[in-house]
Amino acid sequence: MARSEIGSVFARAAADQRLAVMPFLVAGDPSIEETVRLAEACAAGGADLIEIGWPFSDPIADGPTIQAASKRALDRQVGRAEVLEVLTQVRRRTGLPVLLLSYLNVLLSMNDLGPLKAAGVCGLIIPDLALDEPAAIRVRARALDLPVIPFAAPTSTDQRLSEIGRTIDPDAFVYCVSLLGVTGQRQAVSQAALGLLQRARERIAAPLAVGFGISGPDAVSAVSRHADGVIVGSALIDLVQRQGRKAAVAVERFVADLVHAGHR
């Protein structure tokens, strides 16, 4: 079933002539219950897929917002059991496909990825696993039919993009990094993002989702004609931090705005 889930997300969005919207939340921030509640709010706002981040001590691809969220979760003792609990609950309550974003070392520490599958995860995003490493983790994920989402960056050469196109797991999409930098909100979408999307489109058949720095509806509109989906993390987490107890309502509205802005 997982195999078709991601594919159908993009198929449905394409049919609606809009981008798939994929909000990102850190498991356990501000609490297990809140993460689940916020995921439900995303779903209510029209999100197509939920990404859950496994809090990690050394998130090298993340900017201050997600670093802080990870740290808050870790400080509250969010560990493997709690992350699995969040994944299970989010899947169950939202009914949406769930992707797990985790740095490699956390996954390497699991003898068995089965529990992820059991929790309903339908794919893995591993920010420190580039194409070059045919690391054992790929084999293990593939055995469970868990696609590993590849990244493309403005610095990726055409040759590399072609290689991504050739080697991408069935049912995966490409995570297109919109800028040179780590996660975190940016004023506007960079030219680099559009260039990358264009080059990727020519070389990759799989859907393209844009992430890193997408701050809100304007950014979504800016890429709506060039991509198939957007990933929004820091902007969402900043919003939750700002809103406190009223976060769920605000998140639902924000996601709805993103979905709206994603129409072509």
Partner 1 sequence: MPTEPDAGGHFGEFGGRFVPETLIPALDQLQAAFSEAMADSTFLAELEYWNRTYTGRPSLLYHARALTERIGGAEIYLKREDLNHTGAHKINNTIGQALLTRRMGKHKLIAETGAGQHGVATATVAALFQMECEVFMGAEDVRRQSLNVRRMELLGTRVTAVESGSRTLKDAINEALRAWVASVGDTHYVIGSVMGPHPFPKMVRTFQSVIGQEARSQILEMTGRLPDLLVAAVGGGSNAAGLFHPFLDDAVAMVGVEAAGEGLDARHAATLSRGRPGVLHGARSYVLQDEEGQILEAHSLSAGLDYPGVGPEHSLWKESGRVRYASCTDQQAVSALIQLSQTEGVLCALESAHAVAEAIEQARRLGPKKTIVVCLSGRGDKDVEELNRYLEAHRDGQI
Question: What residues are annotated to the active site?
Answer: 51, 62
- Closer of 28 and 45 to partner 1 (Cβ): 28
Residue 234 sits in the site that holds partner 1 (CB under 8 A): no
Using CB under 8 A, pick the residue from 155, 167, 191, 198 that binds partner 1. Answer: 155
Residues 54-83 that bind partner 1 (CB under 8 A): 56-63, 67, 71, 74, 79-80
Residues 206-225 that bind partner 1 (CB under 8 A): none
Q: How far is the CB of 58 from partner 1 (least distance, A)?
A: 5
* The one segment of 2-10, 85-93, 177-185, 228-236 that binds partner 1 by CB under 8 A: 177-185
Residues 101-120 that bind partner 1 (CB under 8 A): 103-110
Residue 23 sits in the site that holds partner 1 (CB under 8 A): no
Residue 128 sits in the site that holds partner 1 (CB under 8 A): yes
- Closer of 96 and 99 to partner 1 (Cβ): 99
Helix axes 32-45, 234-243, angle to 10 degrees: 110
- Closer of 91 and 186 to partner 1 (Cβ): 186
Residue 177 sits in the site that holds partner 1 (CB under 8 A): yes
- Closer of 14 and 104 to partner 1 (Cβ): 104
HEC secondary structure over the chain: CHHHHHHHHHHHHHHCCECEEEEEEECCCCCHHHHHHHHHHHHHHCCCCEEEECCCCCCCCCCHHHHHHHHHHHHCCCCHHHHHHHHHHHHHHHCCCEEEECCHHHHHCCCCCHHHHHCCEEEEECCCCCCCCCCHHHHHHHHCCCCEECEECCCCCHHHHHHHHHHCCCCCCEEEECCCCCCCCCCCCCHHHHHHHHHHHHHCCCCEEEECCCCCHHHHHHHCCCCCEEEECHHHHHHHHHHHHHHHHHHHHHHHHHHHHCEC
Residue 147 sits in the site that holds partner 1 (CB under 8 A): no
User: Which residues sit at the interface with partner 1, rule CB under 8 A?
Assistant: 56-63, 67, 71, 74, 79-80, 103-110, 127-133, 135, 150-157, 160, 177, 180-182
